[in-house]
Structure 1
Amino acid sequence: MPFQQGSARTRQRTVLLVGIVVLLVVLILAVVLASLLTHGKPEVSPKMMKWKDRGTTKNLQEVILGRCYNYIMARYPELGDKDCLKIWESLKHAFIYKNPCNTTSEDYQPLMELASHPIPCNKSLFWSRTKDLAHRYTKSNENFLTLEDTLLGYMTDMISWCGDPSAPGINYESCPKRSECESNPTSVFWKMASKMFAREACGVVQVMLNGSTEAGAFRNNSIFGSVEVFNLNPDKVSAVHIWLMHDIGGPQSESCSGHSIMRLRSILEERNFTMTCEDNYRPVQLLQCVQNPDHTDCQPCANATAAP
């Protein structure tokens, strides 16, 4: 009888062990099956969208932060209360992980509020197709500021950025051109920044246009012609001075009496602005002649300084 009782206990333990093993096998199979059902196909990350323009500037965060700190600490310390980290985060959240063709002005509104600052009266200089010349002039004459001389413009000038719904949320390979979709991150940003710059202008404002372009010095579809001119405030701006510059050695396609300038005059006067226009504003022309001192277009500059 003791032997039979021992055998019965052995069989019970064996059955129990077998049951446990079967249960473990079932659990393992269930886990494997669940994994197969969930990840049966290899996971393929969505591909980045492909566009025709250059991708996001490498090390974008470092570039933005570096320019921001340089602006508020070295150039304009009176703006020291600006929070560069918050400004960067606001810019990033405006486009990261988003379809770059679905950008809205609301995406950038927090950034505009964080980075905006007053523009002194009589210092605003607008430009169209004269970017390099306008910036050379503001560097040599601190009495004027272009949009790119403000904090917003200084941080983002010549920089590209766009997002993508797939990881890492930023497309470093390509970004859309305006011709591919108008509501892309940089186009929307510059329109908003230009609008804010125009609204801040007061006193006498200057506009530098290119009289050597065949398309006309004033173009309705330019940022100045479509955004800035319509956001100047007649209650704040007393006059608009046009500097119509011609390229040294280039064609003089239009003068202050030209068709597009007359169109601009009509728009401004309809909005109750006083407008003046000057061909080849001398201080700017002298700057052009620094790089072309021997060109015949610059001879009057040389004669003006010659002894009688």
Structure 2
Amino acid sequence: MPLQQGSARARQRTVLLVGIAVLLAALVLAVVLASLLTHGRHEVSPQMLKWKDRGTTKNLQEVIVGRCYNYITAQHPELGDKDCLKIWESLKDAFIYKNPCNITPEDYQPLMELASHPIPCNKSLFWSKTNDLVHRYTKSNQNFLTLEDTLLGYMADRVSWCGDPSAPGINYESCPKRNECESNPGSVFWKMASKMFAEAACGVVQVMLNGSVEAGAFRSSSIFGSIEIFNLDPDKVTEVHIWLMQNIGGPQRGLDPSALGQISASLALCCCGSISSNGAVLEPPGLGMGLRDVPQMSPCTKLSCKMHSWTPHGHHRASTSKGQWQPKFHNPHGFPAYWQTSF
């Protein structure tokens, strides 16, 4: 009897050991299979899309949130109720894990609503091909605001971002240029922000154009010529003052009659001359506005004097085809002298 009991216990131990061995073997097999499957998925996972422009700005969240807090606390405390973390989340949601060529205006709509704020009348300053000058001007003259001086523009200025369908959802290596795809995160953002900035303008609006670029001062393909000009509200905007910036010693192409016609037609405002059949600029009916004579020291000329310590001299007047006057300045340092032209 004792012998039989000992034999039974031995069989139980053997069965138990075999069972443990089988479980261990199954566990090892499961680990090996999981490792192989994970490794295989890693190898076949899609690569980050490659583009020609710079990638997402490093530490993008810290940059955006930091600029936002600086804007609403140090620069514009009246906007202190803005939620910078929500603004960041709405920006991130607009592009993360998305193909950067398939961004839509709807993606940015929550961001536009969270970051929008009123623009005081008579302060809106639009620009084209005068980026450096116009922002040096607004930094020294608080009477005007460009898009980059608003919360949206301030946060996004000189910053880039784009997503990617693969993890981690943000491409820090490269982002698409406009000529690679039109609906990229940067282009869609700036078009929407520019549209909103134009819609908010009221009173007298200023426009700073570069009269020395080969393509001409007014280009219908620019953001100003294709977006902003069409979204100025004629019920709110009373005048548009155009400042032509010219390089002395360089080409001075100015604003030709056809460009004036484009601006006039696009604005649908009585602020610019119309174009007759022979190409001459005509006075708008009942306004008596055309090319105005400008004081010798226009606002931009004063800025140039302050920054570069030179005084315009050799001032003379040159008659236009209409018998009106435009000021010209001689600058011994070769720094641009400026014309302010009001229509």
* TM-score in terms of structure 1 length: 0.86
Whether the 8 Å CA contact 2:160–2:186 is kept in 1: the answer is yes
Corresponding residue number in structure 2 for 1:250: 250
Superposition CA RMSD, Å: 2.7
Q: Where do 1:100-139 residues align within 5 Å?
A: 100-139=100-139
The aligned amino acid for 2:301 is Q
SS at match of 2:231: coil
Corresponding residue number in structure 2 for 1:215: 215
Instruction: Give the stretch that moved more between structures: 223-232 or 11-20.
Output: 11-20
Q: Deviations over 1:109-168 (max 9, x none)?
A: 010000000000111011111111111221121111100010100111111111112222
Change (3 A) 1:97 1:280: farther
SS at match of 1:230: helix
Change (3 A) 1:251 1:149: same
How much identity, in percent, do the aligned residues show?
Answer: 63
SS at match of 2:139: helix
1:34 deviation in Å? 4.6
Corresponding residue number in structure 2 for 1:272: 269
Partner Cα separation in structure 1 for residue 39 and residue 146 of structure 2:
58
1:289 deviation in Å? 4.8
Gaps of 5+ in 2: 273-289, 316-328, 332-343
1:240 deviation in Å? 1.3
Partner Cα separation in structure 2 for residue 218 and residue 185 of structure 1:
26
SS at match of 2:230: coil
1:277 deviation in Å? 5.3
Partner Cα separation in structure 1 for residue 206 and residue 309 of structure 2:
26
Whether the 8 Å CA contact 1:244–1:278 is kept in 2: the answer is no
Change (3 A) 1:12 1:107: same
Corresponding residue number in structure 2 for 1:262: 261
1:47 deviation in Å? 2.1
Partner Cα separation in structure 2 for residue 240 and residue 127 of structure 1:
12
1:25 deviation in Å? 5.4
Matched, 1:285 2:301: yes
Partner Cα separation in structure 1 for residue 215 and residue 69 of structure 2:
39
1:51 deviation in Å? 0.7
Corresponding residue number in structure 2 for 1:20: 19
Q: Deviations over 1:204-250 (max 9, x none)?
A: 11111111112111111100111001111111111211111212432
Corresponding residue number in structure 1 for 2:278: none
Whether the 8 Å CA contact 1:244–1:277 is kept in 2: the answer is no
Partner Cα separation in structure 1 for residue 292 and residue 57 of structure 2:
39
SS at match of 1:41: helix
The aligned amino acid for 1:272 is L
Change (3 A) 1:59 1:3: closer
Change (3 A) 1:133 1:28: closer
Corresponding residue number in structure 1 for 2:165: 165
Query: What is the number of equivalent residue pairs in this alignment?
Result: 298
1:265 deviation in Å? 2.4
From the two aligned structures, give the one with the greater helix fraction.
1
Corresponding residue number in structure 2 for 1:35: 34
Instruction: Give the stretch that moved more between structures: 6-15 or 187-196.
Output: 6-15
SS at match of 2:241: strand
Partner Cα separation in structure 2 for residue 39 and residue 70 of structure 1:
45
Partner Cα separation in structure 2 for residue 253 and residue 130 of structure 1:
15
From the two aligned structures, give the one with the greater strand fraction.
2
The aligned amino acid for 1:70 is N
Change (3 A) 1:97 1:175: same
Change (3 A) 1:22 1:81: closer
Change (3 A) 1:149 1:33: closer
Partner Cα separation in structure 2 for residue 264 and residue 35 of structure 1:
66
Corresponding residue number in structure 1 for 2:84: 84
Change (3 A) 1:11 1:69: closer
Corresponding residue number in structure 1 for 2:320: none
1:278 deviation in Å? 5.9
Q: Which has the higher contact order (CA 8 A, sep 6+)?
A: 1
Corresponding residue number in structure 2 for 1:194: 194
Partner Cα separation in structure 2 for residue 211 and residue 131 of structure 1:
13
1:30 deviation in Å? 5.5
Matched, 1:73 2:73: yes
Corresponding residue number in structure 2 for 1:153: 153
Partner Cα separation in structure 2 for residue 25 and residue 172 of structure 1:
44
The aligned amino acid for 1:233 is D
